[in-house]
A and B are shown apart, each in its own frame.
Chain A
Amino acid sequence: MADVTTNSPRLILTDTNFRLWLPLLWIGVIAAAALLAPLIAPHDPLAQDLMLERLPPFFMDGSEPGYWLGTDSLGRDVLSRIIYGARIALFVSLIAATTTGIFGSALGLIAGFYGGWADRVISRLVDIWMAFPPVLFAVLLVAVMGTGLGSVIAAIALIDWTRFARVIRAETMVQARMDYVDSARIGGARRAATLVSEILPNVMPSIIALLMLEMGIAVIVEAILSFVNLSISSDDPTWGSMIAEGRGAIHFAWWVLLFPLIALFMTVLSFSTLGEGLKQRFDPVLK
């Protein structure tokens, strides 16, 4: 018999790997900034110095050495605030996306695999949930629960679990029709064991892709809530609050707005690209 050795496609470098390495690189930079913030931030992100207000970034006339990206209208160092802001952004996105992902995926798996009333209840809940405009919903939730990072995380999980539930339910239904599910039954597997050890590994790439997307969304939601002053206290350096402050000063200190906006945009883009890239990379049948 001909031995068709198709060596694992996972190890071959292709163009699509750019979609993996570029976002990974950026996220690595942001993660390093977050972890090492006290060591690498050139200034205290909260230190105000009215003598140094609205310094332009290093490549412009009138810049001060050491204030690479300039200062805001209270004289705080923009680069240091972005670095400290990365801490909050990553912390929120990590916790919020994981919570949302576990909760939503579990419901999606159950609905898609067991069908029947479990599916009807979960699907109806998703429909009702999705009828609320999400941003309004988030603002409402945080207003009720009080400001703070915990509320932001809870709001993201409470709103966005439906994304996981919907997508994972549909994927699970597709997988549940595969013969390997019958095959597991023939092999004496219990229903729950089939769901966890047969179907879940096949749905995992989608869950991971969604998780990455969700991390990006969490960064945005946190920024929006900071922007409308519903995240943590406005003194703390979050990208959203920096953007909010920068917006007021756009005509005479555009850098206060632009640099956190770039950090935010790149991070969100990186997460969603990474999600897609990972999904492709872990698809076993994709050649």
Chain B
Amino acid sequence: MNQMTQPTPPALFSIRDLRLSFADRAHKPLFGPAPRVEVLKGLSLEIPEGRITGIVGESGSGKSTFGRILVRLLAPESGQVLFDGKDIGALGEAALRPLRRDLQMIFQDPMSSLNPRHKVWRIIAQPMKRYGRGGDRTDAITALEKVGLSAHFADRYPHELSGGQRQRVGIARAIALEPRFILADEIVSGLDVSSQAQVLTLLADLARDMGLTLAFISHDLSVIRHLCDTVVVLHHGVIVDQGPVEDVFEHPQSEITKSLLSAIPHPEMDETWWDDMPEPA
């Protein structure tokens, strides 16, 4: 949690004045281009290497949009996105492809992000093969075992798994590439409470063991408090608070953060909820 707060590690991502707008087709005039809605209004922040960074904010505040820029599913309109010192904001798909091994993502809805026509082992193994990191069935099974799924899941199809198991496959696919960065966008919002905790602890443990950098999007502050080292609070595409989790939670700078904090239902119950969690099966 916050045990690593002493020396600030180097930044894996340095983001400067990041901006993005979408065309607002609903308000498109009869003639001329649609007006543009600014979704990210000049974000500047650093994501420290080897840490877990939480990204919070209300629905529509731009969390997913920001995350998708980090893994370059979206391109920024202006500003810099330095990944390991290299500006990846304007790179074309061909130039990005070798970098993508290091920019992994776990999706919110595993039902949609795991191809229903492919077996679990193939879903995990195919990216490995592309990046020359093995990619046969046994490699996939090794990755499955790291996320607590036994080998006999390898030949299942995604629809033959439970929600929690599906999300574990999503995690296995990301970590199998041994990336430097993983974006996890609300990865437990579709799960029941007990599998939520299991999946989250699993991911955090793996990230720490492998020393990888994790960006964790959530609107649940109690989860952020537990998992993250640093946190960024977004509101209407602007950063209203950022810093180590302790600092932000103890001394929130903005009204937004305060109101988000006050919305945590029973902070005193959280501790036991986490501690009672059995090790993932």
Enumerate chain A interface residues (CB-CB to B < 8 A).
1-8, 178-180, 182-191, 197-198, 201-202, 204, 284-285
Contact = CB atoms under 8 A, between A and B. Distances in A.
Contacts of A182: 73, 105, 107, 113
Contacts of A7: 160
A180 B164 contact: no
Contacts of A180: 112-116
Contact of A186 (B104, B112, B118, B281): B104
Contacts, number: 83
B116 A188 contact: no
B97 interface: yes
B117 A185 contact: no
A1 B115 CA distance: 23
B248 to A, nearest CB: 29
The 6 closest A-B pairs by CB, nearest first: A187-B127, A179-B113, A201-B117, A179-B112, A180-B115, A188-B130
B234 interface: no
A2 B114 CA distance: 20
A284 B127 contact: no
Interface string B48-60: 0000000000000
A8 B117 CA distance: 13
Contact of B100 (A2, A8, A187, A198): A187
Contacts of A190: 97
Nearest to B131: A188
Given A7-B160, A183-B105, A198-B115, 6 more contacts: A187-B173, A187-B177, A201-B115, A202-B115, A202-B116, A284-B116
B92 to A, nearest CB: 12
A8 B71 contact: no
Contacts of A284: 116-117, 157, 159
A6 B115 contact: no
Nearest to A199: B115
14 contacts: A180-B115, A182-B73, A182-B113, A183-B115, A185-B73, A186-B103, A186-B127, A187-B100, A187-B173, A188-B100, A188-B101, A202-B115, A284-B157, A285-B159
Interface in B154-212: 157, 159-162, 164-165, 173, 177, 195, 198
B280 interface: yes
Contacts of B109: 179
Contacts of A2: 162
B113 A189 contact: no
B126 interface: yes
Interface in B245-281: 280-281
B160 A8 contact: yes
Contacts of B118: 201
Interface in B68-108: 71, 73, 93, 97, 100-101, 103-105, 107-108
A5 to B, nearest CB: 7
B127 A188 contact: yes
Contact of B165 (A1, A198, A201): A1
Contacts of B177: 187
A1 B280 contact: yes
B114 A1 contact: no
Contacts of A183: 105, 107, 113-115, 173
A54 to B, nearest CB: 56
Contact of A188 (B97, B115, B117, B164): B97
A190 B126 CA distance: 12
B259 to A, nearest CB: 31
